[in-house]
Amino acid sequence: MRHIRSFTAVLLTFISLSFCTGAYAQKFTELAQTPPMGWNTWNKFKCRINEDLIRATADAMVTTGMKDAGYEYVNIDDCWHGERSLLGFIQPDPKRFPSGMKALADYVHSKGLKLGIYSDAGKTTCAGYPGSQGFEDQDAAMYAHWGIDYVKYDWCDTRGLDAKTAYTKMRDAIYKTGRPMVFSICEWGSNNPTQWAPEIGHAWRTTSDIYQCWDCYLGDPKTAALSVLQILDLQTGLRDFAGPGRWNDMDMLEVGNGISDSQGRAHFTLWAMMNSPLITGNDLRNMSAATLSTLTNRAVIALNQDKLGIQALRVLRDGDIEIFAKPLAGGDWAIAFLNRGRQARTYSFNWVEQDIVDKLSKRELRFSKMIYQWQELWSNTKGSTAKKFDQVIPAEDVIVYRLTPSKH
Residues in contact with ligand GLA by CB under 6 A are 42, 77-78, 125-127, 154, 186, 188, 209
CB of 130 to ligand GLA, least distance (A): 13
In eight-state DSSP terms, residue 310 is P
CB of 129 to ligand GLA, least distance (A): 9
**C-alpha span between 11 and 35 (Å, rounded):** 34
Catalytic residue among 59, 106, 157, 209: 209
Catalytic residue among 77, 78, 137, 154: 154
209 counts as catalytic: yes
* Pairing relationship of beta strands 313-318 and 321-327 according to DSSP bridges: antiparallel
Output Rg (C-alpha) for the chain, integer angstroms: 22
Dihedral, CA of residue 122, residue 128, residue 129 and residue 131, to nearest 10 = 0
CB of 9 to ligand GLA, least distance (A): 29
Question: Contacts for 160-167 with beta carbons within 8 Å, 24 or more apart?
Answer: 161/121, 161/122, 161/133, 163/121, 163/187, 163/190, 163/191, 163/193, 163/196, 164/191, 164/196, 164/200, 166/121, 166/133, 167/121, 167/196, 167/197, 167/200, 167/201
The smaller minimum CB distance to ligand GLA, of residues 77 and 137, is found at 77
Q: Assign residue 390 a region: left if phi > 0, alpha if psi is -120 to 50, beta otherwise? A: beta
CB of 80 to ligand GLA, least distance (A): 11
| Percentage helix, strand, coil for the chain under 3-state DSSP, each rounded to 5 | 30, 25, 45
The smaller minimum CB distance to ligand GLA, of residues 190 and 406, is found at 190
154 counts as catalytic: yes
Helices 136-146, 101-110: axis angle to 10 degrees equals 50
The smaller minimum CB distance to ligand GLA, of residues 53 and 334, is found at 53
CB of 131 to ligand GLA, least distance (A): 11
Q: Which residue is nearest to ligand GLA (CB)?
A: 126
The smaller minimum CB distance to ligand GLA, of residues 45 and 367, is found at 45
The smaller minimum CB distance to ligand GLA, of residues 154 and 397, is found at 154
Q: What amino acid positions are annotated as catalytic residues?
A: 154, 209
